[in-house]
Amino acid sequence: MSQDGESYQDGLIDDIDDEIITIDDDPDSDDIVSEGEEEESIINKLKKSNKSNIVPVNKTYDIYYSGVKKTSPFLTKFEKAKLIGTRAEMISAGSPALVTVPEGVTSAYDIAIIEFDQKKIPLMIKRFLANGECEYVRLEDLTIL
């Protein structure tokens, strides 16, 4: 549990709602999303803009489970390094370990390695395709060579 009362179980925050937020540096832009707008209208505005956006967790999972994967089912050494490094940083910042930590293991990196070996790292890999699209992959779905 964090100080705000949010739970980080399975890498999700319990109080996330289905709101889409657009990060906009220009307050005079007509691409600003208001709170009462319909979801379809908001999605169309986001598709037209090149700004960063934050999408609901549920939408990400809907996209993840709906399509056939186009990329390799194998984890690359670069993805492995990024996953372990990011998870070690999260653990050192106070995130709870998702595995039973053996006695004597105190390093965040070692805990991240144990989580990696058990495929318990709660992160998704975002793979970019040549046509500009991206694909999300979970560690549980990949083969580690």
| Tens digits of residue pLDDT in 62-113 | 777 777 888 888 999 999 999 999 999 999 999 999 999 999 999 999 999 9
Confidence category of residue 14, pLDDT binned at 50, 70, 90 = very low
The full DSSP string for 18-47 is S--EE--S-TT-TTPPPTTS-HHHHHHHHH
Least confident of 5-14, 67-76, 130-139: 5-14
Rounded CA-CA distance 136/128 in Å is 9
Predicted TM-score of the model (pTM): 0.58
Rounded CA-CA distance 8/13 in Å is 5
What residue ranges do the domains of the chain occupy?
68-145
In terms of pLDDT, which residue wins out, 110 or 139? 110
Least confident of 5-19, 58-72, 110-124: 5-19
Rounded CA-CA distance 140/98 in Å is 14
Judge whether residue 2 has pLDDT over 80. no
What average pLDDT does range 129-145 have in this prediction? Answer: 87
Question: May I ask the CATH class of domain 68-145?
Answer: alpha beta
In terms of pLDDT, which residue wins out, 12 or 81? 81
**pLDDT reported for residue 15:** 44
- The answer to whether 33 and 45 have CB atoms below 8 angstroms apart is yes
Rounded CA-CA distance 121/86 in Å is 10
Judge whether residue 7 has pLDDT over 60. no
- Short-list 80, 55, 51, 92, CA closest to 142: 80
Rounded CA-CA distance 139/113 in Å is 13
Task: Classify residue 34 by burial, with Cβ atoms within 10 Å: 0-12, 13-18, 19+.
Answer: exposed
22-50 pLDDT tens trace: 444 454 555 554 555 566 666 666 566 55
Task: Name the 3-class secondary structure at 137.
Answer: strand
